[in-house]
Amino acid sequence: MILQEKGCNMEEAQQPKAVDRKKRVQRLKKIILLGLTIGIVVPWVLCIILFGLVLRMNDAQKNMSSQLLQLEELIKEQQTSHRQEYESLRDKLLSEETELEELANRVTDEIGRVEAAASVEAEPSVQKPESSHKVYLTFDDGPSVHTNEILDILKNYHVKATFFVLGKEDEDSKQALQRIVEEGHSLGMHSYDHQYSNIYSSREAFAADFEKIQDYLFQVTGVTSKLYRFPGGSSNTVTDVDIHVFIDYLKEQNTTYFDWNISSGDAAKISLSAETIVENATRGIESRPVSVILFHDAAGRESTVQALPEIIERIQAMEGTEILPITEETEPVQHVKGDE
Ligand SMILES: [Zn+2]
């Protein structure tokens, strides 16, 4: 019985151990299963999640890249439109600049036209009286002790005259000749020595005298005179040789000779009063288109100097008169013509 109980007790003691082992095995199985489950399922799940994430990121990337592309296109479009705007603005500016230049040119042209028109309009009003009555004051036989006085008077009245001079070589005469030229008067020749018997004796003598005075004046003043007044005039009665011989010679020298159509009478043997000289010098000016008045710039001709201011004032007071110096272009007054 005791053995039976002992045997029974042994069996009873062995039974809980088997149950425990079974339980432990089952627990281990569970753990292994759980571990396997965790080891296999979790990575898969994670893989799936990651795959999903990757897919989403891909999508997002695609979206972003497409958005970027759109942005790029937008920027490009904007750049293009800005460039076009810039170009059109630049073109506009250029065209406006061109327009402005054209406008400036037109304004300049217009100013030129207005100025030209003004000068054209102004000229006739100045020239009208000039073409009505041109007056030339001419002084023969100088330089003299009166030349500077005459030049002072002319300067005072802003008048230019013509001096037909002789070959006087003293210093005062040289200075007077230079002053005549410097102050804008015309320098003409009246022979070198004024000796009728010499200059009118032959063509050769006349030519020698002519060359002498022309060279002398050039030497003193630098002016080659092309204006001549015959001593005694082209209608003089002192020459034995035909005056046309000398006229032809002057023509060969491209020199124009000028006589006069008004004589002041200041060369008269008995000196005239200043009043008479004024009357003589101003007579008939208003009835002629051209008046060439003969005066003398010579010692002893004080009344000419005295008369001169009054003569100029009277001429200037006449309507349509202008006092001018003789030039190579002046239509000459000649007593004897070359072709007669
Ligand atoms: Zn003379």
The reported pLDDT for the residue numbered 58 is: 81
* Distance from Cα 194 to the centre of ligand 1, integer Å: 7
Gyration radius from the chain CA atoms: 63
Please give the distance, rounded to the nearest whole angstrom, from the Cα atom of residue 188 to the centre of ligand 1.
12
State in Å: Cα 137 to ligand 1 middle.
Answer: 15
195-210: buried (b, 16+ CB within 10 Å) or exposed (e) per residue?
ebeebbeeeeebbebb
Specify if 146 maps to a domain: yes
pLDDT in the model for residue 104:
55
Residues in the chain: 340
In angstroms, the CA 316 to CA 275 distance is 17
The CA distance from 190 to 166, in Å, is 6
Identify which of 243, 255, 213 has the alpha carbon closest to the alpha carbon of residue 335. Answer: 243
The answer to whether position 231 is within a domain reads yes
Q: Which residues surround ligand 1, an ion (CB under 5 A)?
A: 140-141, 231
Q: What is the pLDDT of residue 17?
A: 75
CA dist 164 and 210 (Å) reads 13
Cα 182 to ligand 1 centroid, rounded to whole Å: 23
pTM of the prediction? 0.63
CA of 184 to the centre of ligand 1 (A): 22
- The CATH number assigned to the domain holding 214 equals 3.20.20.370
Residue 71 confidence (pLDDT): 83
Predicted local confidence at residue 93, as pLDDT: 63
Ligand 1 midpoint to CA 232 (Å) = 6
317: CA distance to ligand 1 center in Å?
A: 29
Distance 288 CA to ligand 1 centre (A): 24
Cα separation of 304 and 308, whole Å? 6
Q: What's the confidence (pLDDT) of residue 223?
A: 98
Q: Which residues of the chain have pLDDT under 50?
A: 1-8, 107-108, 111, 120-130
Tally of structural domains, the chain? 1
Distance from the CA of 130 to the center of ligand 1, in angstroms? 28
Q: Does residue 249 form part of some domain?
A: yes
Domain assignment of residue 175, yes or no: yes
What is the share, in percent, of the chain residues with pLDDT greater than 70?
Answer: 84
- pLDDT of 164-209, one tens digit each? 999 999 999 999 999 999 999 999 999 999 999 999 999 999 999 9
| Residue span of the structural domain in which 149 resides | 131-323
Q: Are 291 and 135 in contact (CB under 8 A)?
A: yes
The reported pLDDT for the residue numbered 8 is: 46
Q: How far is the CA of 190 from the centre of ligand 1 (A)?
A: 7
Contact 189, 229 (CB under 8 A): yes
Is residue 160 a part of any domain in this protein?
yes
Exposed, middle or buried, 49 (CB in 10 Å: 0-12/13-18/19+)? exposed
Is 73 contained in some domain? no
Residue pair 180/150 in contact (Cβ under 8 Å)? The answer is no
Domain contains 268:
yes
Q: Which of 190, 194, 135, 131 lies closest to 333, judged by CA?
A: 135
d(CA 105, CA 112): 10
Structure confidence at residue 180 (pLDDT): 98
**Per the domain annotation, does 191 fall within a domain?**
yes
CA of 298 to the centre of ligand 1 (A): 9
